[in-house]
Amino acid sequence: MKKIAFFDAKPYDKIYFEKHKEFYSMDIKYIEYKLNSDTAYLAKGCDGVCAFVNDDIDEDTIHALKNLNINIVALRCAGFNNVDLKAAKDNVRIVRVPRYSPYAIAEHTMALLLTLVRKIHRSYNRTRDYNFSLYRLIGFDLKGKTIGIVGTGQIGKVFINICKGFGMNIIAYDPYPDKSLDVTYADFDTICKECDIISLHCPLTKENFHLIDKRNLPKMKDGVIILNTSRGALIDGEDLLNALRERKVGGAGLDVYEEETDFFYEDYSYKIINDQVLSGLISMPNVIITSHQAFLTHEALESIALTTLSNLKDFFDGKELINEVK
Ligand code: NAD
């Protein structure tokens, strides 16, 4: 049995990892804290670490793990922007789950879009209060609208197909276009100028940090809808809030937020939030925020558990790591 320190553990993680851990000969120590250089010591006595999107796997964390003789970090997510890969090289091997359910994220993106454009969040609150008025609930058809898809990987492709089902016009931007895809590619400037809706499906890199900010927002159509189910720092939150206040942006559906680490996945309903941008966005009637939950389906959680446990077993068995991040 190999022992795994499982950071940022939530009850729903346990259901799927407990179900499969014995098959992979793993014993799991669930830790509620996020992994960072201060909490890494909690992995003492473990053979490996399992981490999630808001764990901070920086140089100090990596050295702290190395000092505990831990040589493997298994990310139970696709993105790895929270890992200092330079520091990890020659110290700790990093594996991830590159594919679990692109449908989960793509379908959640469409849920955000439909909620926004048909004002479902507002009518839900109204009818709960026996207010059956339709005043100010006029939406618009998605059919015939132009949507810009930024990133045409696994999730972008599924989302394109969903949008096609709605009869939308699609323009895509990706530095590595997929020629087999039946879609028109354009540069990001064209996406900004021509799209009624823009949806982000690319990883966060140094190059696309704040891809949407005050430089690009003025180029967009008045009333543009912005969707982000990828990574928060693709958008400058303050610039987006200003553009919403100026009515340049007509709505935003966000499953991620640049400073989400401090808040997402925790219950703050009884505390004061000291983040003016987040509380500003939440206060807008045309903004829907979900707490990085796009992945949260049975199918995705099952697949995440199986791939993560298999990645760890391959490492302990000395096999090739097919899902290694280098
Ligand atoms: P993928 O690797 O299959 O596809 C990413 C695509 O983005 C690739 O085609 C790549 O060429 C393209 N790309 C790279 N840099 C780009 C740039 N600067 N501009 C535009 N496109 C660029 O990844 P995926 O599985 O489709 O996932 C996409 C992202 O979704 C992940 O990186 C992750 O950040 C996010 N994600 C979010 C959740 C969630 O729960 N909200 C879950 C899984 C993944």
What pLDDT, on a 0 to 100 scale, did the predictor assign at position 216? 97
Predicted local confidence at residue 292, as pLDDT: 95
Catalytic residue of the set 76, 96, 108, 292? 292
Tell how far the Cα of 36 is from the centroid of ligand 1, in angstroms. 24
Report the nearest-CA residue for atom 42 of ligand 1.
295
Of the candidates 76, 108, 231, 258, the residue annotated as catalytic is 231
Confirm if 251 and 225 have CB atoms less than 8 A apart: yes
Secondary structure (H, E, C), the chain: CEEEEECCCCHHHHHHHHHHCCCCCEEEEECCCCCCCCCHHHHCCCCEEEECCCCCECHHHHHHHHHCCCCEEEECCCCCCCECHHHHCCCCEEECCCCCCHHHHHHHHHHHHHHHHHCHHHHHHHHHCCCCCCCCCCCCCCCCCEEEEECCCHHHHHHHHHHHHCCCEEEEECCCCCCCCCCEECCHHHHHHHCCEEEECCCCCCCCCCCECCCCHHHCCCCEEEEECCCHHHECHHHHHHHHHCCCEEEEEECCCCCHHHCCCCCCCCCCCCCHHHHHHHHCCCEEECCCCCCCCHHHHHHHHHHHHHHHHHHHCCCCCCCEEC
What is the pTM (predicted TM-score) of this model?
A: 0.94
Is the CB of residue 61 below 6 angstroms from any atom belonging to ligand 1? Answer: no
Strands 48-51 and 72-75: parallel
**Is the CB of residue 231 less than 8 Å from the CB of residue 205?**
no
pLDDT given for residue 317 in this prediction? 98
**178 Cα nearest atom in ligand 1:** 9
pLDDT at 81: 93
231 in catalytic set: yes
What is the predicted pLDDT for the residue at 126? 98
Note down pLDDT in tens along the chain; length 326 residues.
999 999 999 999 999 999 999 999 999 999 999 999 999 999 999 999 999 999 999 999 999 999 999 999 999 999 999 999 999 999 999 999 999 999 999 999 999 999 999 999 999 999 999 999 999 999 999 999 999 999 999 999 999 999 999 999 999 999 999 999 999 999 999 999 999 999 999 999 999 999 999 999 999 999 999 999 999 999 999 999 999 999 999 999 999 999 998 899 899 999 999 999 999 999 999 999 999 999 999 999 999 999 999 999 999 999 999 999 98
CA distance 220 to 196: 8
Ligand 1 pocket: which of 155, 158, 206 to mutate (most atoms within 8 A of CB): 155
* 229 CA from centroid of ligand 1 (Å): 9
In this predicted structure, what is the pLDDT of residue 104? Answer: 97
What is the reported pLDDT for 189? Answer: 98
260 is catalytic: yes
> How far is it, in rounded angstroms, from Cα 121 to Cα 85?
40
Res 9: pLDDT: 97
